[in-house]
Structure formats: C-alpha cells, structure tokens
Amino acid sequence: MTGLPEGAFLQNGKYRIDKKLDNGGFGITYLGTQVGLERHVAIKEFFMKDFCMRDKQTSMVSIPNDDYREFADRFRSKFVKEARTIAKLNHQHIIRVHDIFEENGTAYYVMEFHSGGSLADLVEKRGRLSEDVALRYIRQVADALRYIHDHQLNHLDVKPANVLLDENQNAVLIDFGLTKHYDQTGAQTTTSPVGMSHGYAPLEQYSMGGVGLFSPATDIYALGATLYKLLTGEVPPEANEVNEDGLPPFPGYVSKQTAHAITEAMNPNRKKRPQTIDDFLALLGNGEHRLQKHIDLAGGVRGCATHITDDGGRQLIVNGVSFKMVLVDGGEFVMGGTEEQACPDPDEMPQHKVKLSAFFMSETLVTQALYKAVMGVNPSHFNTNPLHPVESVTWHDCQRFIQTLNQITGFKFRLPTEAEWEYAARGGQQSRGCQFAGSTEVDSVAWYEKNSEMTTHPVMTKQPNELGIYDLSGNVWEWCADWMGEYFPEKQTNPRGVDDGRERVSRGGAWFSSERTCRVSNRNANVPGHKSMMLGFRIVLE
C-alpha cells in the first residue's frame, strides 16, 4: 500500500479519503470530503515515493534509511512552506488552501477541489484549442502570475497540467512546489533545489543559480510555452532546442500577433523577453484583430467575445463561458420516417421534402454552466457538474434565456425549427443515413436507458454526428420552436393542459428513453409550460 485507503479518516473524522487522484514523486493527492461541511476537497499528502514507507496497519509514514531522513525532512519543510505560501494568496485564479496539519508521521494540506480537470486534460481530450479560448485561459493565468509577482514570488512551474478548470471553466493555477520567494532587492529567500518541466522551463532553470534573482521573465517563458501547447496540441521544444533552432513555424490558423507574442516570450535570452506580465499581454493585444469581422454583430457588448473557427463555425465566450456554433450548410432533405425500419411511428409520416438555408447550431446542448452565466441560476435536477446539459426548463424558460443571451451578445439566437433540428441530426449535406445522430449504433452517440445509469451526462462524452454536433440523440430531449403538427398538420395533438392545450415539439430522446425513441425522426411534444429533468434545449443562429 502506498496511498491511504479509501474511507480512511484524518483529523479525528474531519476529512474522509474518497479516492487517490495523483501520485507524484513528492506527494499523493486525494479526493476527499470535509465531513462537517459535506463538500469535496483535494488533500495533498507529503510522501516521497523513493524514500517513504507506509505501515499497512496504522498508515504511519516513515523513512527507514537514516541516510535519507535529513534529505526528506528538508523537502517536508518545503511542502509545509508551499501550503503556507498559497494560503497567504487571495486571487480568483489561484488555488485556495483551507487547512494544513501533521498526522501519520507526515504532513497534509487541504485545498478547494475543482472537477473540471486541467488544461492538459482538456487538450488531451479535445485536441488543440481555438485561439480565443486559449487566450482566455492564458489571460486568466497571466492575471494570477501578475498577482504573485507583485508579492515577489516566481511560480517556476507554469504548464497546462498545473492549470485546473473550475466549475465555470475558469483557469486556476496550482502546484507551487517549485515557487521561490524573493526579498525587495530581488534576492531569493529560499535555497531549495530548482526543478523544471521540460518544454516549459527556460534555460536559466537548468543552470545553478539561474533563478537566484527575481525575474518575472522566467514565468513569462513558461506562459508563452503553455499558450504554444494550447494552440498546437504539441509540447513545446525544450529550451536548448529553442536556443539552437528557434521555434518551429506556427500553423496558419495561429494569428501573426499571437505567434509573435509566443516567440518573444520564449526568447532564450531572458533579458530580451517581455519583462512583466503587462508587457506580454500588450504583445497579445486585446483581441480586436480577431473580433473585427463580428463587431457589427456583437456590437462591442461587454461580456461577449467571438471569432470564426477554422471550420467556419463561431466560437463565443459569454460571461466567461465558451460555446461553439457549428455551421450547417443549407440543402434539401426528406423529413419523416425515412430510416430503414419496418414501421415508422404514425406522427413521423407522411415523408416530405424540406429545403433549408444555411444556419448555425450549437455544438452541444446548452450546458448548466452557460445557462447560469446568462441567467444567474441553475434550475437543473442533476446539478453536480456544470458541463451537464441544463434541464428542468420550460419552453418559456428557453425563450427568456435566448432573449437575455441576445441582449448580451447582440446576436439573434433562437430555438431550432423542427426541420432544422432533424436536418442537422441527420448530418445535413454530410448525412450517412444513420438511424441515430451520427451512427447506426445507439451506444456510440447517445446516453439512453441502457447506459445512462438514470442520469444526464456531461456534453461531448459520446461521439458527434457527421457535422461535429454532440448529443442530438439522447441525454435530454430538446425543445424546438414549432407547435406540434406544423409540418404534419393532419397529426395535430389533442388539446390538453395549459397554453390552450397545444404542444411544442421536442426531439432527440433522453437518458430515460428507449433506443427506438433516440432515432433522428422520432417526435415528441409537451405543453410549453412543462418542466422535466429529461428536457433541455440547444440554440441556432442564422
């Protein structure tokens, strides 16, 4: 046994160990619960894997080799100092430390827990980020670095793996294990060894005494390297390679201004880099060169930024939450029960041709994070993860959300028509004729009754359809703009309930639905005032 067992308690039951999250060379990080407050926390334990041992019965940590005890004690003191350093910092983009204590013959500190993973995880999952999204995260980390530089600190380990994403998809800087403090003259007040992360550390971190004097430029190199990784999906070349050969040519999708800022930040000569965070941000500019094509649409409204993606889509950031609108080229299709099946449902007939102009559809269902960023509340029943689709919203709630979003952005979002929804679900001009949105196998694209475990799931965790749009089958039903029967007038539903009894269409199926219900031609409807934990929505833009 290396880590503490699941269910173990610390501080006389104040904290419970739920599971191990990470096992590094100097410590183990656990997901834990602060029992009294019933909240998740991250608990970091000092444990040098090459020197420490743990008693299986008592969980006590010891260092059997006397020759290494002084060495380990030195790093344990540094571990404690790291926690105290972070605890003195108060910034929205820096991890917060709640507690520190000694137990089991070692030391622990307790931090806030964020479930969004790291920037490294995000790039691993999705590939390179769009420029505006990457710059949003970089500016947040830069803001944190400016704050610690004002306190005469150098982080010395900025990299995507050390930037977590909080519940609102904002960046949070972590891991101050290599951080050094400097006095007012710029001389370091710590003598601990210097570490480095290859690809992100500049040349001076490889040299004895290379970071002996305070210099924000060292962190700025790592910040530029982090931006390089986010934009290209590749680990930057090591410092000696950059010194000898420079950086590789940037891909064409990276703007010249951003490429120049990265090149300047990663200059091997520390004195030739930007010397302050503000100098680096000045090189990046304020993003107007990327927003120029949309200034007539966005209206310069505060709280919104947008740019054109490589595939012709639109990436927007609204009050700190990013979402993408996918371009759906116009075309003609046969709407209704056209899949290869014995008997379509009666309300899927008759088949008829529909011709549509091009439009944009949201890449994902409206998430709880986006809904809260726009409306300030989260009405969802399954509200443990902001990346789950918002649900428990009426058709009228959707209209209020869209009205507010339009006021913020200057755009004219709306619910999709039923025909637009079905055309996009079928894959538009790229359709392969699948029964489900993107596949003939429901499990690959949909959360439904047989795999959902009776709950919603984060968006983008199943395969997208031919257009790169997620969750058009399953997860939650999606409100559409139409009254039931507009495209199939002879199938008008019987009046009932409120709103004069007529019903609005919903499409796609949900986590509770059968496989058949998740077909792209399947139809459903509810009165506009209906609210359900199985019912959400997505948006379109002309």
> Which positions are catalytic?
157
Instruction: Give the Cα separation of 81 and 77 in Å (integer).
Output: 6
Q: Is 264 left (phi over 0), alpha (psi -120 to 50) or beta?
A: alpha
Listed residue (400, 427, 428, 424) closest to 414, CA to CA: 400
User: What does residue 395 show for φ and ψ, rounded to 5 degrees?
Assistant: -60, -35
Rounded to an integer, what is the distance from CA 451 to the centroid of its chain? 23
Cα dihedral 468, 469, 470, 473, rounded to 10, equals -120
User: What does residue 194 show for φ and ψ, rounded to 5 degrees?
Assistant: -90, 135
Instruction: Give the Cα separation of 51 and 359 in Å (integer).
Output: 61
| Sequence letter at residue 336 | G
Place of tokens 């199926």: 509
| Sequence letter at residue 327 | L
Q: What DSSP letter does each residue of 254-296 carry, written as one string? A: S-HHHHHHHHHHT-SSGGGS-SSHHHHHHHH--SHHHHGGGHH
Two tokens, residue 345? 């449902």
- The conformation of residue 27, written as its DSSP 8-state character, comes to E
With residues binned 3-state (H G I as helix, E B as strand, rest as coil), the percentages for the chain, rounded to 5, are 30, 20, 50
- The conformation of residue 322, written as its DSSP 8-state character, comes to E
Instruction: Give the Cα separation of 249 and 283 in Å (integer).
Output: 18
Instruction: Give the Cα separation of 395 and 414 in Å (integer).
Output: 12
**Beta strands across the sheet bearing 27-34:** 9-10, 15-23, 27-34, 39-46, 106-112, 97-103
| Sequence letter at residue 221 | Y
